[in-house]
Amino acid sequence: MQLTLQIVITDESGSSRTEELMTIQKSGETRNDIGLSVSESKLLLNTVQQSVVQLQADEYTQHHIRCPHCLAARRIKGKQKIRYRTLFGVIPVSGLRVYRCRCEESDTKTVSLLSDWAGDYSHPALKYIETRWASMISYEMTTRLLKDILPVGHSLNASTVRNHLCQVAQRLDAEAEAHSGFLSGCPRDWGNLPRPGKPLVVGIDGGYVRDRDDKKRNFEIIAGKSFSVGAPADTRRFGFVQKDDCHPERRLMTHLSAQGMQANQQIFFLSDGADNLRDLQFGMYPESTHVLDWFHITMRLTVLMQYARDCWYQIQRRGVSSGTAGKH
């Protein structure tokens, strides 16, 4: 059988038109023909994405072709095409380049309408998935998985994923600069805040990682995760390099604020009791509860027990030696 996929487009005036997207030939003779195949689903997503993005670009161009100041029609210099990267393919988009109006103050005579619209030519959803996956697996594996299930395009590679992740990380760091590393307000005002939710639990620990280039050099990484007792599924993770991060309190405060923390909310910190971790927690949230996890408690008790056994052994040994010497 033949399947024809169409979309119906209704503009602002209410008029509608129909466009044919693609035609698929399907049969139900074998199990492999049931439903859409991976290649057919990729083609469908890419085709729909091309149509939607171009329609949006045309609408944006129509609304912004006039001068934003005096609303005079700007002269068209020519047509242009850009390549917009999305989760569903690299989409070629047609647009216009126009001459600037006399009332516009700028060093350039022309402007690309699509440049303002498309930003860095990468869709935020693409960067989100790349960053999310690359934070859990390698850049190369992220690239392979994306290409397996989505029509992201053959040009996507590990270097592109890494660059996008670094861009997102830099933007998040810039946004964190606006946050304080401590609680805002004073205890008198915290009583007027809405009733907080369930306590937050923050597990935090540190570890040393060997430098990739200089094998003799190590650096300390602080990592952890947090969740609410009332919503354990909403688990978030964080991490930073202890010596390179100038404001670790600000980073942790930004992380907890994004999870909905209030100044009057109870927080439990789980750690191994290291001084740098405790100072970080206490300086940021003085009223928090600090819990030393049982594993590290037993480690310290084990060391004390071994020390006590050794002392007892030495005492017994000296006693035996003294008794032997007295007999002689």
Mean pLDDT for all residues in the chain:
83
Better-scored residue on pLDDT, 309 or 255:
309
User: Which pLDDT tens digit goes with each residue over 212-225?
Assistant: 788 788 888 888 88
Mean pLDDT of 141-168: 93
Mean pLDDT on 55-65: 91
String of DSSP letters for 242-311: TTT-S-HHHHHHHHHHHTT--TT--EEEEE---HHHHHHHHHH-TT-EEEE-HHHHHHHHHHHHHHHHHH
Does 158 or 304 have the greater pLDDT score? 158
Is residue 327 predicted with pLDDT exceeding 60? no
**Domain encompassing residue 145:** 126-176
Q: What is the pLDDT of residues 279-303, one digit of tens each?
A: 777 666 666 777 776 666 677 788 8
305 falls within a domain: no
Q: Which of 92-101, 165-174, 257-266 has the highest mean pLDDT?
A: 92-101
Enter the tokens of residue 327.
Answer: 């007999």
Quote the radius of gyration of the chain (alpha carbons, Å). 31
For residue 309, being part of any structural domain is answered with: no
pLDDT greater at residue 123 or residue 25: 123
In a domain, 110, yes or no: yes
Beta bridge partners of 136: none
**SS3 per residue for 126-153:** HHHHHHHHHCCCCHHHHHHHHHHHCCCC
Average pLDDT over residues 164-186: 76
Nearest in space to 44 (alpha carbons), one of 193, 202, 150, 194? 150
| Residue 118 burial class via C-beta count within 10 angstroms: exposed 0-12, middle 13-18, buried 19 and up | buried
Over range 63-72, report the average pLDDT. Answer: 87
Residue 188 lies in a domain: no
Instruction: Tell me whether strands 218-228 and 200-210 are parallel, antiparallel or unpaired.
Output: antiparallel
Q: How would residue 87 be classed by pLDDT, with cut points 50, 70 and 90?
A: very high
Task: Assess if residue 307 is contained within a domain.
Answer: no
Are 10 and 117 within one domain?
yes
Q: Does 317 map to a domain?
A: no
Residue 193 clears pLDDT 90, i.e. is over it: no
pTM: 0.70
Indicate the DSSP class of residue 198.
S
What is the domain count for the chain?
A: 3
Q: Quick: pLDDT tens for 73-85.
A: 888 899 999 999 9
Mean pLDDT of 35-44: 90
Q: Is the pLDDT of residue 181 over 70?
A: no
Residue 228 lies in a domain: yes
Phi-psi region of 153 (alpha: psi -120 to 50; beta: other; left: phi over 0): left
* Model pLDDT, residue 328: 47
Q: How confident is the model at residue 150 (pLDDT cuts 50, 70, 90)?
A: very high
Q: Are residues 208 and 259 in the same domain?
A: yes
Tell whether 62 and 166 lie within a shared domain.
Answer: no
Question: Mind listing the pLDDT tens digit for each residue in 214-254?
Answer: 878 888 888 888 888 777 677 888 888 877 766 777 777 77
What is the C-alpha separation between 88 and 146, in angstroms, rounded?
A: 10
